[in-house]
Structure 1
Amino acid sequence: MATFIEPSELRSHTINSASPSSTLVVFEPFSLPSGNQRLLGKPHLDNTPIPLALRPSPHDNVKIDLSTVTRTIKSLQSQDGGILTKKLAQHGTLLFRGLPIRNAEDFSKFAHSFGYKPHEIIGIVVDRPFLAPNVAPANEAPKEVLIYNHNESPQVPHAPEYIFFYCHRAPKKRGESPIASSVELFHRAQQEIPEFIAELAEKGILSRVTYKFQKQYEGGSTLKQAFGKEIKEDDDEATRRAKIEAQIARYGRGKHTTWEWTDDGIVLTHRLPSIRTQPGTNFPALFTGLAAYYKNAQVNSGARKNVTQQLFGDGTAIPEKYLAHLAIITDEIRVLHKWQEGDVLVYDNTIAQHGREPWEGEQEDRVVLASLFDGENVPGAYGSADWAQVVQALDG
């Protein structure tokens, strides 16, 4: 249950650069309302809030402009293996509030100051046009559509390690972004539905993703957008298929990724681990969208239901009772971030899940931008099976 966290419990989380420069910003923690912040449960350390909420604090008359903020971020990331990266590994999610970010370009500069490598999206059925370097709309689905808690890109082999969200416009009612720990989710599920976790560990999942020549739903992408960046207008059909298959091969999964051409597109089948381990701690985490597919299918209508299918790794169906139980746990451990304009949420995608609640009003009342990045290490394997370890996609 989310409870108000006293400021005294957060003082130890103040972030100050060790640089002797007095022209850098100090990031001070602050409490959020109940329901927007909670203390993480086991196996996280005691008194660890999610998200860790930070805001720049003026000191010695330091001017809090974007240049000062990005210099501070770069300084923090140059120390001790990346101070903010370590905070992300501890808390799962950081909230920055009160930053001088006004548009996509500002957001891009802030996100890039962390020093991560921009993530190339491969094979995600979402249309994300770039608005600034490595910045795109978070999701263009209609405002009525629920996007339940999930790790980013669990249905394909190539996922980002870090996700940045910037709120350019906040709706008056609802439209929150959920935040939950994938590590805590695994811990609870292992205790409450151990037979399900054992089966996931033994079999993994089969993820079947359908791509079509035409857009399947509003906000979705075409097959060419997903895998066809090398295709030229005068390519014949055989050449187009070869170029698409070459992009699929970049996943580096060998026999664990197969495909079948259909009359209106292609269906990819990946055998993937839904349990992955956090680099550094080796904590197991449920890296998954299983509860999301279950919940989204209950409330959303239309073609979105038919894009992705998730089965056990041996091809058998996952009993609905397990998916429902995952959703129950998720609802108990998550918080809903109530956006304020200018907020930036940063997720460690290995150990933290996100989503999007519907909102009232007009579609354009909520504008949230996203920036995805790769880290130095991909999540580790849980077990010794060859399909249990994911890799970064090959350059292409």
Structure 2
Amino acid sequence: MMETIAVGARRPALKLDDARSPALVFESFDLPATNQRVLGPPHPANTVTPLALRPSTHESVPLDLDTIVQTIKSLQEQDSILTKKLALHGALLFRGLPIHNADDFSNFAHSFGYKPHEIIGIVVDRPLLAPNVVPANEAPKSVLIYNHNESPQVPHAPEYIFFYGHKVPKKGGETPISSSLELFHRAQREIPGFIAELTEKGILSKVVYKVEKQYEGGSTLRQAFGKEIQEGDDEATRRSKIEAQISRYGRGKFTTWEWTDDGITLTQRLPAVRTQPETNLPTLFTGLAAYYKNARVNASSGRKNVTEQLYGDGTPIPEKYLEHLANITDEIRVLHKWQEGDVLVYDNIIAQHGRQPWEGEQSDRVVLASVFDGAKVPGAYGYGEWAQVVQALDG
């Protein structure tokens, strides 16, 4: 693999090519300021998010998906170059790819070489459309989904998230991008007492799963934990199989549950501050700002939050801190304006995403998602047995 520098409009353009077969290169390009920004500390100076890349061919080579996939595989085999770019920038945008459907998207996402993530404890409805490809959150178009790391309410979260814009609305529907590293850095400086308490106590996540879905786009208890359930199983067998799936988190006393007449309430003590592998930089891996913002913006729609987050000792987190996190996030995020065919890739450890409302029909926005595990789980920050998070046990 070679990295060469060419002169760009505003900053040097990065070119990624496979030295063994340089028929295709990925060239970086600048986006409007509304779509791209220079990250603040602790990121290195002049690091942008997202890093925007587009393919370019020469020697009369056609731009087909097979060539794209083989180039991605080759780049990853040579020092995991794209994984390292993700760990630096937090998000990559690929534009101009020959991707037209769920199967094309699946082939592209799998070319990075990551292990598909097994979703346990899902809170949204995501039917399988192609290998490891599902719809992104399909909540009504009026619902705001504010910036968050994927699956912060469960221990077993993916490390990489791929989004593909199959159909995009004319107005709205942007996907936010913000840095969890920058959020922690700012919060530690501006509200140090809160960060110290959050590090010491963690959060207590309470998620209610019901037999019937609680809102449009939400999941059922069976979708969350019932993959082993068979038709004809009696109630005791169903509960046993659900509890076996929950136990795969491997967290012992830090994961408890209570059965109710119409479902189950799952309670977990989790770290909200974790560390990025390799750099060991602390990242605010959480949905705290989203919990605060969504509750206020979406209240008029009748949508209820199914996740309650407290300090790990069960005491409430003061609202002023949640508001402060949301205010920081507003300052450091960009809203990605989709073009049809765009693919956004997130390092879920250090980058947060979400979804803006849009005008028009619900069907005007079709974004697909694919999630994967990385080589390492983001480590604990601070101390305490409860802060240790591992990937789910086989089962």
TM-score by length of 1: 0.96
| Aligned-pair CA distance for 1:240 | 0.7
Match of 1:14 in 2: 15
1:310 is paired with a residue whose SS is strand
| Aligned-pair CA distance for 1:380 | 0.8
| Aligned-pair CA distance for 1:14 | 2.0
Identical columns (%) = 77
Q: Deviations over 1:133-171 (max 9, x none)?
A: 000100110000000000000001110000000000010
Contact 1:9 1:47 in 2 (8 A): no
Verify: 1:267 aligned to 2:269, yes or no.
no
Matches within 5 A, 1:60-75: 60-75=59-74
| Aligned-pair CA distance for 1:182 | 0.2
The CA distance in 2 between the partners of 1:373 and 1:102, in whole Å, is 21
Contact 1:119 1:372 in 2 (8 A): yes
| Aligned-pair CA distance for 1:7 | 3.5
Amino acid of the structure 1 residue aligned with 2:75: L
Match of 2:37 in 1: 38
| Aligned-pair CA distance for 1:60 | 2.0
Residues 250, 293 of structure 1: alpha-carbon distance in 2 compared, 3 angstrom cutoff: same
Match of 2:278 among 277, 280, 288: 280
Amino acid of the structure 1 residue aligned with 2:244: A
Verify: 1:365 aligned to 2:364, yes or no.
yes
Match of 1:144 among 133, 142, 148: 142
Amino acid of the structure 2 residue aligned with 1:41: G
Residues 111, 358 of structure 1: alpha-carbon distance in 2 compared, 3 angstrom cutoff: same
Verify: 1:352 aligned to 2:351, yes or no.
yes
Match of 1:377 in 2: 376
Contact 2:200 2:383 in 1 (8 A): no
Amino acid of the structure 1 residue aligned with 2:267: T
The CA distance in 2 between the partners of 1:277 and 1:10, in whole Å, is 30
Question: Structure 1 residue runs of 4+, over 4 Å off?
Answer: none
Match of 2:160 in 1: 162
Match of 1:128 in 2: 126
Match of 1:55 in 2: 54
Q: Deviations over 1:85-104 (max 9, x none)?
A: 00000000000000000000
TM-score by length of 2: 0.96
Match of 1:113 in 2: 111
Q: Deviations over 1:216-238 (max 9, x none)?
A: 00001110111011111111111
Contact 1:217 1:303 in 2 (8 A): no
The CA distance in 2 between the partners of 1:376 and 1:74, in whole Å, is 16
The CA distance in 2 between the partners of 1:22 and 1:379, in whole Å, is 34
The CA distance in 2 between the partners of 1:10 and 1:263, in whole Å, is 61
Q: Deviations over 1:32-62 (max 9, x none)?
A: 0111000110010011110000000122222
| Aligned-pair CA distance for 1:383 | 1.2
The CA distance in 1 between the partners of 2:295 and 2:322, in whole Å, is 12
The CA distance in 2 between the partners of 1:236 and 1:105, in whole Å, is 37
Contact 2:206 2:265 in 1 (8 A): yes
1:98 is paired with a residue whose SS is coil
| Aligned-pair CA distance for 1:262 | 0.7
The CA distance in 1 between the partners of 2:239 and 2:320, in whole Å, is 39
Amino acid of the structure 1 residue aligned with 2:254: H
1:372 is paired with a residue whose SS is strand
User: Which structure 1 segments of 5+ residues have no match?
Assistant: 1-5
Match of 1:203 among 201, 204, 207: 201
Contact 2:149 2:351 in 1 (8 A): yes
Q: Deviations over 1:172-205 (max 9, x none)?
A: 0011000000000000000000011000000000
Amino acid of the structure 2 residue aligned with 1:277: T
The CA distance in 2 between the partners of 1:200 and 1:22, in whole Å, is 49
| Aligned-pair CA distance for 1:303 | 6.4
Verify: 1:338 aligned to 2:337, yes or no.
yes
Match of 2:4 in 1: none
Amino acid of the structure 2 residue aligned with 1:344: V
The CA distance in 1 between the partners of 2:339 and 2:316, in whole Å, is 41
Contact 1:216 1:303 in 2 (8 A): no
Amino acid of the structure 2 residue aligned with 1:239: T
Contact 1:128 1:137 in 2 (8 A): yes
Amino acid of the structure 2 residue aligned with 1:376: A
Match of 2:313 in 1: 314
Contact 1:178 1:356 in 2 (8 A): yes
2:292 is paired with a residue whose SS is helix
2:304 is paired with a residue whose SS is helix
The CA distance in 2 between the partners of 1:27 and 1:233, in whole Å, is 49
| Aligned-pair CA distance for 1:263 | 1.0
Q: Deviations over 1:84-131 (max 9, x none)?
A: 000000000000000000000000000000000011111011110011
2:86 is paired with a residue whose SS is helix
Please tell me the root mean square deviation across aligned C-alpha atoms, in Å. Answer: 1.0
2:171 is paired with a residue whose SS is coil
2:163 is paired with a residue whose SS is strand
Match of 2:26 in 1: 27
Match of 1:179 in 2: 177
User: Which structure 2 segments of 5+ residues have no match?
Assistant: 1-7
Residues 230, 287 of structure 1: alpha-carbon distance in 2 compared, 3 angstrom cutoff: same
Contact 2:206 2:266 in 1 (8 A): yes
Match of 1:3 in 2: none
